[in-house]
Every structure is written in structure tokens, then in C-alpha cells.
Chains A and B, each alone.
Chain A
Amino acid sequence: MRRQVGVTGMGVVTPIGCSLAAFRANLLSGVSGAGPITTFDPAQLPTRIAAEVRWEGPILRDRKITFALEAASQALLGSGRPRGRGGLSLGIGLELFSMDDLAETRRPGFVPPHSRRERLGFLQTPSDLCVSLISKRHELAHPPMTHVSACAAGTDAIGAAFRRVAEGRADWMLAGGTDSMVNPLGVAGFCRIGATTTANEDPRRASRPFDRRRDGFLLGEGAAILVLEPVEAARARGAPVLAEVAGYGCSFDAHGISEPHPEGRGALQAMTRALDDAEIAPGAVDAINAHGTSTPKNDPVETLAIKKLLGARAKDVPVYATKSMIGHLISAAGAVEAVAAVECMRAGIVHPTINLDEPDPDCDLDYVPHRAREQAQRVVLSNSFGFGGQNACIVLRRTGA
């Protein structure tokens, strides 16, 4: 017997707010978190803008670890600690190395750092360290799950945690994603393969999903973590049930290394599997939080896959892109976008896709351009499609729907 799984807490660290309240307010107002890169001097790189987190407290050298620790604490503060044995399921980005440290190793007389803490942070910090720190801080009993499915990782992390709770393999889970690739190697790596926007002169208008003039994604950073537990257990302890995770599906495109399947096969499979898992018909979908990267290749294929899923209803269902405001948070994207979707459902408002001035003719759905819209939503899909053809989708349902 599968258990109904609720979201009872959410924590966020994003370019438009480092608390749930700030994130919600800016999201619904259509505020962009983009700006010139400040965490390093991008000098003459083709991309010199990003959506950075304005973090004012102490921060570890690997920013994404600080973001994840903060998001987890926020989520548990909101939820209260669920009963029983908890676990963690986290999408996390690569352990890139520091070019400064690398240069230091080549200097005459170089001596490696002495303490264990300094050694583990020098040159690069292994990303699995993050899940260990969260598990230790919150005394989690289950082995942490780490997801490295690139841009789909945050959604995969929520989906996998949902399954564990639904199937009784865990009493409760922290689930989400964290990433920061706003560093020399991260930005340069994306520039080298032509993935990021070069609209440096107007950062707030650079991320423009589904717009004709989109030219690549805006790199973002941040984290989001959700508390998932059985709805029945949450109600028994008086915890708020913010929404229900009702289904999860994932798929491989099995097609191109950097381009989606031209017919949207994998994206459609992920959405269909998620709805089948939730035992919900496509006709019941009220809105879709799109992957919507603002890249030439993703947006029309996602549009096509949504049309195949929804059929004649496709143009009546709002499809909105959080990345228009916060950029692409890579391994954290799906988690932050799940929080955005839950907040929209709770508010009865669909947040806008900003910067959609001139729709691409191949992107002809209702993307909620410019301004938020009041609209009740009972069932929402949240999509994440990864570089390398990994596609993930979760179904969120308003509590009591």
C-alpha cells in the first residue's frame, strides 16, 4: 500500500531571496536576480553575467555547501522534525577546482595545508562532503542519496525521496538540490561549449525562455530543500502539509549528447511516467513549471512534448519558466522550481515568465508572459531535462485536492 507523501517544510537560498518569504514575494512580482558576476572578475570571458546569491553571512569556499546547509535548516525549522528515521536525497553539482589553488601548487616551496578541514577545501571540495555534513548536522539515519544527473538532479532527488517515503523505505526525507558553478572554471566551461547567454549589457533581460531572441541560459546558483513525509504522519503531529508529491517519472532521451530528442520523446516519457505514477490523467494538469532554459534547443522541444502530452488542451494550460528570473541553477534547478510551483499553488497565482517579449513561433503555448496571473491550480507538473538526455518530472498536488 503506497503512502500519500506531503511537503511539510521548504528552505531556499536563491538569487531572488534567501528565505521562503523573500523568494515567494520576488517570484510572484517577476523580479530578476541577474547581474554582473561579482564573485570573481570574469575579465574577458564571453559571458560576464549570472544570477548570484547575495549571501551576507560566513560562507565555505564551496558556496553550494553553505547554501544546502542553510536550505536544510530552513526546511526543518518550517516543518518541525518529523518522527522516525530520516534521510537525505540531494542533487549536487560537480567538484570543480580552484585555479588559484592550482597555481599555488606549482610555486616553489609550496606546502599543502596542514589541518584536515583545510586540506579537504584546498584545490577542490568533494561534493559528497555536503551530504555528509547535512546528515551529521540533522542526525539522519539513512545513508544519503546523491544525484548527479546534471540539470535533472534536483527533480530526481525529490522523486527518489518521494518513492522512498511512499514505499515505506524511509519515515521522512530531506530532498532537494544545491549548486554553484559561478566560478572561473564553471563559467568558462559553459562558455567553451556555447551554452550560456552573452547578453552581458542587459543582465536582467538576458534569460528569456521561449522568446525569439534567447541566446543561451543564464547561469544561476542556489539551493532548495523540502521535507517529505507521509501526509498521515504529518497531520498526526500537527505539521503543515504545503502540498503533496503525487508522482515521479524519469527517462533517457537516448539521443544526442547536447541536444534533446527532436520529437521530445524523452521529455514526454518523463511527464507521462510521472502522471501514470500519480494515477492522474493529463486532462487534470492545471499548470506546468517548465524546464524552460532559454536555450535555442530546449524550449521548442519542451513545447512540442507538452503539446503531445496535453493534446487539444495544450494552449489552455499555463506553462511558466522560473529560470527567466533566477537563471539555470543546474543541479539545484529542479528543487528550486518545485518550491516555486508549490508556492504558486498555495497562492493561487501562476508566476510570470519574464522577458518574453517576442515569442518564438515554435514556442506557442501560454507561458504567462511578464505578469503573474491569478489561477487556482490543483495539479502541477515540474520538469527538468538534463544535458546528456536525462529527463525528470514530478507531479505536485494541492493538499486536499
Chain B
Amino acid sequence: MSSPDLVVTGVGHAGPPCDSSGYLKVRKQRKFMGLQDELAVVAAGRALESAGLPGPLGARAGLFLAVGYIPFEQSDIDLLLAGSLTDGRFSMERFSTDGYASVNPLLTFRCLSNMPAYHVSVNFDLQGPYFVTYPGAGQFYQALEEAAAAIRGGRIDVALVGGVAHQDNFLVRHHFRRLEPSEDRRVDSAGILVLEAASRAGPRVRGRLLRWTIDYRAVDPFEESPSPVEIGADGAMGPASLPVALAQRPSGRFRHELRSRDGFVASSEWELA
């Protein structure tokens, strides 16, 4: 698809260590936030600053976000398990009393896939629409496609399009290590682009999305993987790989290609001012 009508007005990225306090409306809310939430808020804040869009975004701004696999830290796993074993085996009775009570109730909020979107919406007063998807770099392309359709359909003026993944933790490492070939290097990161219609952006244009393609070949994940590893700007960043690459690139033309484990074949061309 060619897209001369869509321009990038802002880019932002974030990696650990990450402190979102400066972007929070209510700092006490930080206790609800996991790393993926903080990464998303900081990347969104930086993207909006670079787009020159301060203040509440309101009802004409949308969020289109690809989120990585559910994170769960080793320390939380250890705590949960310690209170749930009898003679080395899982005991539902112990779990029901000791294990479950030992876990911080806020943990639920910190690992849910929709929470990065919540924290971005509440701190920048973004009132939708949205598309919250998961879990990889291919899905970032779908977020981009949905954002473009929303702008072109006149439903929004501004789209925050991004990817965020907290991957350096017990559960996500477990997932990638069991694949063939296994992958140990997973990076925690977030990248957000601010996308607008060219007619609205005026002198704030920082780049253009020239064209993109997105294709697919369905695979049975029990039987095969179409690509031995993710190929992208940095596959280890999962859904954040492309927006982070754009945020780190100073200027010029940039072409991104992706072949993902789950059958996505996508590419895009950008021109950065």
C-alpha cells in the first residue's frame, strides 16, 4: 500500500531502566505499573513531545498498540511456588491458602496485556478508539494498518502506533528457549510513532510512511515455523523492533523487512526528515 497521505510527526522510544514518574498524572499510580506499562508511557510521552502535541489528546486520538507476551518475573514465580508446594509437588490446598495470599494483588495489574494501553490512555487523556494486539513484530504492522484506516476513515486525527514488550523475565524467556532454534536474547523496549494526516500536520512533519506491505502464510505451529528466527530491524525487541528502529534513526530513507515465526511477511519504507 502506498501512503503519501500519512506522515510521522513524532517518535519516541524507551528501554530499561525506566521511570515514568514524569509522565504520570497521579504518581501513586506507579504502584500498579509493570515494566511494560512504564516503557509504553515513557515512549508515548517522548513521541508526543517530539510531535509538539502537549496536553490532553481527547476523543480524536487513537492508540494502536502491539504488546509482547505476558511477563512474569522469577521472583514472583518463586514466591508463588514456595507457598504452593507439599513434598515437592503442587498442592492446591497450600496454594489456596499460602501461595495465593503471598502474591501482591497488584501483580495482576502489572502483567495484563491491555494495561500498557490503559496507562497511556489515562496519562495522556486519550479517549480512543484503539486496537490492542499481541505478541510480535508482525502485529505491529497490523496496528499500523488499523491506524492508517482510522485516519483515512476520518475517525481520528492523531494515531499513536507502537509496540512494547517486557521480555527479559522468566515466562517470556521460557517461551523463546523452547523454540527451534531457541533464542536467549530478548530485549525490553517500547517504541511509539505519532501518525497524522499530511493535511493536518503542517510544518511538524518528521517523516513519511511511503508504502508498506503485509502478507501471510498460515503455519501449524506444532509442525513448523516458516522462519527459523525473526528477521527484522532487531527481532529481539519483538513488537517494538520497527518503531524503535525509526526512533533511533536520524534521517534519510529507511526500509524495514520482516519474516516472523508466525507467518507474517511484511515490509515498509519510510523517509525521515
A binds B: yes
**A residues apposed to B, CB below 8 Å:** 40-45, 94-97, 99-100, 102-103, 106-107, 112, 116-117, 119-120, 122-124, 126-129, 132-133, 135-136, 139-150, 156, 160, 163, 167, 169, 184, 188-189, 191-193, 249-255, 257-258, 265-266, 269-270, 273, 386-391
Q: Do residues B84 and A388 form an inter-chain contact, with CB atoms below 8 A?
A: no
How close is A183's CB to chain B, nearest CB, in angstroms? 11
Contact of B127 among A99, A192, A269 (CB under 8 A): A269
- CB within 8 Å for A189 and B142 given contacts A103-B84, A269-B59, A390-B118: no
How close is B127's CB to chain A, nearest CB, in angstroms? 5
Contact of B263 among A143, A145, A270 (CB under 8 A): A143
CA distance A146 to B264 in the complex (A): 13
B residues 150-180 in Cβ contact with A at 8 Å: 153, 155, 171, 174-175, 178, 180
CA distance A188 to B220 in the complex (A): 32
Contact of B149 among A124, A135, A167 (CB under 8 A): A167
CA distance A233 to B244 in the complex (A): 42
CA distance A28 to B34 in the complex (A): 43
The 22 sampled A-B contact pairs (Cβ below 8 Å) are A97-B171, A99-B95, A103-B88, A106-B85, A116-B180, A120-B178, A128-B134, A128-B136, A142-B216, A149-B114, A150-B114, A169-B149, A188-B96, A191-B100, A250-B129, A251-B59, A251-B128, A253-B127, A258-B109, A269-B59, A388-B115, A390-B130
Q: Which residues of A contact B149 (CB under 8 A)?
A: 163, 167, 169
Q: Do residues B90 and A389 form an inter-chain contact, with CB atoms below 8 A?
A: no
Q: Which residues of A contact B121 (CB under 8 A)?
A: 252-254, 389
- CB within 8 Å for A252 and B126 given contacts A99-B95, A143-B263: yes
Q: Which residues of B contact A107 (CB under 8 A)?
A: 88
Q: Do residues B219 and A132 form an inter-chain contact, with CB atoms below 8 A?
A: yes
How close is B14's CB to chain A, nearest CB, in angstroms? 20
> Is the C-beta of B108 less than 8 angstroms from some C-beta in chain A?
yes
> Is the C-beta of B117 less than 8 angstroms from some C-beta in chain A?
yes
CA distance A149 to B128 in the complex (A): 12
Contact of B218 among A43, A106, A124, A140 (CB under 8 A): A140
Nearest-CB residue, chain A, relative to B224 = A116
How close is B162's CB to chain A, nearest CB, in angstroms? 14
How close is B190's CB to chain A, nearest CB, in angstroms? 16
Q: Which of A123, A140, A146 has most chain B Cβ within 10 Å?
A: A146
How close is B155's CB to chain A, nearest CB, in angstroms? 8
Stretch at the interface among B40-48, B66-74, B228-236: B66-74
How close is B264's CB to chain A, nearest CB, in angstroms? 6
Q: Do residues A95 and B70 form an inter-chain contact, with CB atoms below 8 A?
A: yes
Q: Which of B114, B136, B141, B262 has most chain A Cβ within 10 Å?
A: B114
Q: Do residues B128 and A148 form an inter-chain contact, with CB atoms below 8 A?
A: no
Contact of A192 among B29, B105, B128, B145 (CB under 8 A): B105
Q: Which of B59, B121, B132 has most chain A Cβ within 10 Å?
A: B132
How close is B153's CB to chain A, nearest CB, in angstroms? 7
Q: Do residues B96 and A42 form an inter-chain contact, with CB atoms below 8 A?
A: yes
Q: Which residues of B contact A266 (CB under 8 A)?
A: 127-128
Known: A44-B93, A387-B112. 10 other contacts (CB 8 A): A94-B113, A99-B81, A99-B84, A120-B221, A126-B135, A128-B262, A143-B263, A146-B134, A146-B139, A254-B127
Q: Do residues B114 and A148 form an inter-chain contact, with CB atoms below 8 A?
A: yes
Contact of A251 among B127, B136, B221 (CB under 8 A): B127
The majority secondary structure among interface residues of chain B is: mixed
CA distance A1 to B113 in the complex (A): 35
Q: Do residues A255 and B122 form an inter-chain contact, with CB atoms below 8 A?
A: yes
How close is B88's CB to chain A, nearest CB, in angstroms? 6
How close is B194's CB to chain A, nearest CB, in angstroms? 17
CA distance A266 to B88 in the complex (A): 48
> Is the C-beta of B103 less than 8 angstroms from some C-beta in chain A?
yes
Q: Do residues A252 and B77 form an inter-chain contact, with CB atoms below 8 A?
A: no
CA distance A147 to B139 in the complex (A): 10
- CB within 8 Å for A160 and B146 given contacts A41-B92, A94-B70, A145-B133: yes
Q: Do residues A148 and B133 form an inter-chain contact, with CB atoms below 8 A?
A: yes
Q: Do residues B100 and A143 form an inter-chain contact, with CB atoms below 8 A?
A: no
> Is the C-beta of B214 less than 8 angstroms from some C-beta in chain A?
yes
Q: Which residues of B contact A136 (CB under 8 A)?
A: 218-220
B residues 80-124 in Cβ contact with A at 8 Å: 80-81, 84-85, 88-90, 92-93, 95-97, 99-100, 103, 105, 107-109, 112-115, 117-118, 121-122
- CB within 8 Å for A127 and B93 given contacts A136-B220, A254-B125: no
How close is A7's CB to chain B, nearest CB, in angstroms? 21
Q: Do residues B69 and A103 form an inter-chain contact, with CB atoms below 8 A?
A: no
Contact of B142 among A43, A99, A145 (CB under 8 A): A145
Contact of B100 among A124, A140, A188 (CB under 8 A): A188
Q: Do residues A254 and B126 form an inter-chain contact, with CB atoms below 8 A?
A: yes
Q: Do residues B88 and A123 form an inter-chain contact, with CB atoms below 8 A?
A: no
Q: Do residues A132 and B84 form an inter-chain contact, with CB atoms below 8 A?
A: no
How close is B83's CB to chain A, nearest CB, in angstroms? 11
B residues 241-273 in Cβ contact with A at 8 Å: 262-264
Q: Do residues B81 and A102 form an inter-chain contact, with CB atoms below 8 A?
A: yes
Nearest-CB residue, chain B, relative to A139 = B218
**What 4 A-B pairs are tightest by C-beta distance, nearest first?**
A388-B118, A143-B216, A251-B128, A252-B121
